[in-house]
A and B are shown apart, each in its own frame.
Chain A
Amino acid sequence: MNETIGLILITIGVLFDLLGCVGLVRLPDVYNRIQASTKCVVLGTTLSLLGAMVWLGTTPVIIKGLLCILFLLITSSTAAHALARAAHRSGVPLADESVVDRYADDLQAGENNEEPAS
């Protein structure tokens, strides 16, 4: 029973990984790729780790799996934020279909009001 539930969770996780990587290939822009791939792949890997924890069910696996899920959720979102900020600061253009750029507006407003912090 535990094996069945774990296998189902791992299968759903791998499907999410595949969808995220399809988004990484198909989408037109750095920011779209960051959004799609980070969300889907992190959810898929978390589900795979959860499936391994349910499958085995021993104490070391559960402790290490929970720790790994925690670190993965914290670090990947932070890395995606840092990458998007770095890409925008280094002048990577948005896709042609984009309609709004709040970060550029915010930077512009900050430059008009006061000196930007160094």
Chain B
Amino acid sequence: MTTIEFLVPVLIFGLLICCAMCLYRIANGPTAADRMVAIDILGTVVVGFVAIITAVTGKAYLLDVALVWALVSFVGTLALAKYLVGKRLNE
């Protein structure tokens, strides 16, 4: 039991480092495509957060949040990708 109490904050801190790296790439990505990739990855990392919180608290309804988050993030990324096609954003 003490292993769980030690390891779960460490895992959440690791995912926070992932979020910080994604935010770094969002802040100074050279092109708009870099920022969109980082936003997509940030959505996937949030699903990992929800998985850890579900496992710790034991509440099954939290996985609905992960499901909806994955689908909405997919729709947003696809809309931004369709918007980006044909635009000269590298100049």
Is A113 in the interface zone, CB < 8 Å from B? no
A52 with B52: CB separation less than 8 A: yes
Q: In the complex, which residues of chain A have a beta carbon less than 8 angstroms from the beta carbon of B64? A: 64
Alpha-carbon distance between A30 and B84 when the two chains are bound, in angstroms: 14
**B interface, by DSSP: helix, strand, loop or mixed?**
helix
B7 with A7: CB separation less than 8 A: yes
Q: In the complex, which residues of chain A have a beta carbon less than 8 angstroms from the beta carbon of B61? A: 60
Alpha-carbon distance between A10 and B15 when the two chains are bound, in angstroms: 11
> Which one, A38, A51, A72, A91, contacts B55 given CB within 8 A?
A51
Chain B interface size band reads 35 or more
The listed residue with most A CB atoms (<10 A of its CB), out of B14, B77, B81, B82, is B81
Q: Mark B80-91, 1 if CB is under 8 A from A, else 0.
A: 011011111110
B78 with A33: CB separation less than 8 A: no
A61 to chain B: closest residue by CB: B60
Chain A interface size band reads 35 or more
Given A3-B4, A90-B90, A91-B88, does the pair A79, B60 have CB atoms closer than 8 Å? Answer: no
Alpha-carbon distance between A29 and B13 when the two chains are bound, in angstroms: 27
- Give the interface of B toward A (CB within 8 A): 3-4, 7, 11, 14-15, 17-18, 21-22, 24-25, 31, 33-34, 36-38, 40-41, 44-45, 47-48, 51-52, 54-55, 58, 60-61, 63-64, 66-67, 70-71, 73-74, 77-78, 81-82, 84-90
CB<8 Å pairs between A and B, sample of 10: A3-B4, A7-B7, A41-B41, A42-B44, A52-B51, A61-B63, A78-B74, A79-B74, A90-B90, A93-B90
Other 13 A-B pairs with CB < 8 A, given A24-B25, A30-B37, A72-B47: A11-B7, A13-B48, A13-B51, A15-B14, A25-B21, A38-B37, A52-B51, A52-B55, A56-B55, A56-B60, A60-B61, A76-B70, A90-B84
- Give the interface of A toward B (CB within 8 A): 3, 6-7, 10-11, 13-15, 17-18, 20-22, 24-25, 30, 33-34, 37-38, 41-42, 44-45, 48-49, 51-52, 55-56, 58, 60-61, 64-65, 67-68, 71-72, 75-76, 78-80, 82-83, 85-87, 89-93
